[in-house]
A and B are shown apart, each in its own frame.
With several copies, the nearest count.
Chain A
């Protein structure tokens, strides 16, 4: 059975429950489902923010996420994989990104979800700008995200 990933890059919100159900309902080969939801926080480095605006490079974002999803499907025995990344203006408490993995066993589901999140943070062409009382600022990339992504590199 060939498993293909569901990838969506959209301005609209997503429904975590529906995406989890889509990978597990009505089948009996899935033993583990992991979901990761990334949510807009109300403060960045101690400063309150009003919203984030996510800019992205549409064609490349699609290609990059597809490439990493295919990589995850090749590396772990997954029965389902969904990646949704939003763009546009997102307020505190709202969803930004979702990864859902389904597998027979828990370790594959956990590892594949972490792998994809690490890559989305460092390689997917999205850029966050924050709005706060001090104006708007582009958020800087975090070194620790590069470190997290590097642990998946085949040596």
Chain B
């Protein structure tokens, strides 16, 4: 699946997007954050406060317990500051 990062999440991880293949036991957004956190220091830094991180699956906001099954694109970002 494709993962996208925005704002300081993107800056901390050092890339805007990547394709990942998490193992089958990574079922929710929360699981995915945990799995990504273990992928290296940059990820651990980006996700150091997981409660602050917002997520979207296929362009719609989702909560941390949302299932990622069937997702084509998952995005992680800080709270939005548009408008």
A120 at the B interface (CB under 8 A): yes
Partner of A57 from the list B4, B8, B79 (CB cut-off 8 Å) is B4
Residues in A neighbouring B7, C-beta threshold 8 A? 55, 127, 129, 138
Partner of A126 from the list B59, B75, B83 (CB cut-off 8 Å) is B83
A60 at the B interface (CB under 8 A): yes
B81 touches A38 (CB 8 A): no
A139 touches B81 (CB 8 A): yes
Interface string of A67-85 (1 = CB under 8 A from B): 0000000000000000001
A64 at the B interface (CB under 8 A): yes
A125 touches B80 (CB 8 A): yes
B56 touches A127 (CB 8 A): no
A15 at the B interface (CB under 8 A): no
B79 touches A141 (CB 8 A): yes
Q: Determine chain A's interface SS by DSSP, over half rule.
A: mixed
Kindly count the residue-residue contacts between A and B in the assembled complex, taking CB atoms under 8 Å apart: 77
| In the complex, chain B residues 42-83 whose Cβ is within 8 Å of any chain A Cβ | 56, 59-61, 75, 77-83
A63 touches B80 (CB 8 A): no
Partner of B77 from the list A59, A96, A125, A128 (CB cut-off 8 Å) is A125
A120 touches B83 (CB 8 A): yes
Q: How far is the CA of A56 from the CA of B10 in the complex (A)?
A: 12
Give the interface size bracket for A toward B.
20 to 34
B6 at the A interface (CB under 8 A): yes
Residues in B neighbouring A127, C-beta threshold 8 A? 6-7, 77-78, 80-82
A54 touches B60 (CB 8 A): no
A residues adjacent to B (C-beta < 8 A): 38, 54-57, 59-61, 63-64, 85, 96-97, 106, 117, 120-129, 138-141, 145
B residues adjacent to A (C-beta < 8 A): 4, 6-8, 10, 56, 59-61, 75, 77-83
